[in-house]
Amino acid sequence: MTLPMVVRDDGLPDRVTVYEVGPRDGLQNEKTVIPLEVKVELVQRLVAAGLPIVEVTSFVRPEWVPQLADAEQLLDLVDHRGATPMPVLVPNERGLDRALEKGVQHIAIFGSATETFARRNLNRSLDEQFSMFEPVVKRALEHGLDVRAYVSMCFGDPWEGEVAVPQVVDVGRRLLDLGCSQLSLGDTIGVGTPGHVNALLDAFNNDGVADDRLAVHFHDTYGQALANATAALRHGVTTFDASAGGLGGCPYADSATGNLATEDLVWMLDGLGIDTGVDLGSLVATSQWLAGVLGRPSPSRVVNALS
């Protein structure tokens, strides 16, 4: 397999964490139901390819996201208590109850930086979302779970337009103050650019949140995901959300297209001599297989180039 030439940049970290969201965020917006056995094989193949974290599903109500209605069955069939963390998205206390029943060790909550998306996605106001999340995080921590927080619409909202940087920082800080270990900043509709990324990360740093508590989650709607990831990498962020094959979207935001492809991210990091622990060949083969299952080409440039 062709590999990139390695040219190190001494100003960059030696290693980063790729937080794989394909089985959850990548599949949640598919139009047809993905068989359980395909999801199980996808998770197993991603773990075998060396992805250090694989977010596997979400405990949302089945009528909201039908693609994830088999969350319990999936967890019965994958090694979610093994060496590779397998977080599960938990929207509320009922979702946490389901996670605890299955012995899940890592969960994530999903907040919004804007009023409109909070109401559409959570049926709560911007302020009310914190009242919903507070008991979830408190109980999860009491049970020894790790809790990650996502905040969506950090760079723009399809209904509200531009989102003020201080507003994003305020929401993110409040989520971290609940006790979350990490905050993932989401460009849900893919409108961010590198300068905007730097400005937002600077604002978090100025508010006392270091880059090592932040992750980034970019969508590639305008072809900016990899450029934005590079900006975050140079800023000091070392955790990057990505989806195998570039799959994904948001059921509540039609303008949200695919995630940053894990293969495209790993190719770039390999070329920079940054260790991810990911076997690119195995990952590409996995996305080629998944594209065949879904019946359409992968959006990933690297997958297509190496196919």
Catalytic residue list = 250
């594209």: which residue's tokens? 291
Task: Give the CA distances from residue 95 to residues 122, 129, 162, 230, 246, in Å, rounded to whole numbers and listed in that order.
Answer: 13, 15, 31, 34, 27
DSSP assignment of 180-200 equals: -SEEEEEETTS---HHHHHHH
Q: Give the Cα separation of 105 and 100 in Å (integer).
A: 8
Q: Give the Cα separation of 306 and 2 in Å (integer).
A: 7
DSSP assignment of 252-271 equals: TBTT--PBPBHHHHHHHHHH
Q: How many residues does this entry show for the chain? A: 307
Cβ neighbours, 10 Å, residue 98: 17
Q: Give the Cα separation of 284 and 302 in Å (integer).
A: 8
Helix 128-142 to helix 115-122 angle, to the nearest 10 degrees?
A: 60
Q: Give the Cα separation of 118 and 126 in Å (integer).
A: 6
Q: Give the Cα separation of 2 and 299 in Å (integer).
A: 19
CB 163 within 8 A of CB 155: yes
Query: Is beta strand 214-218 parallel, antiparallel or unpaired with respect to 88-89?
Result: unpaired
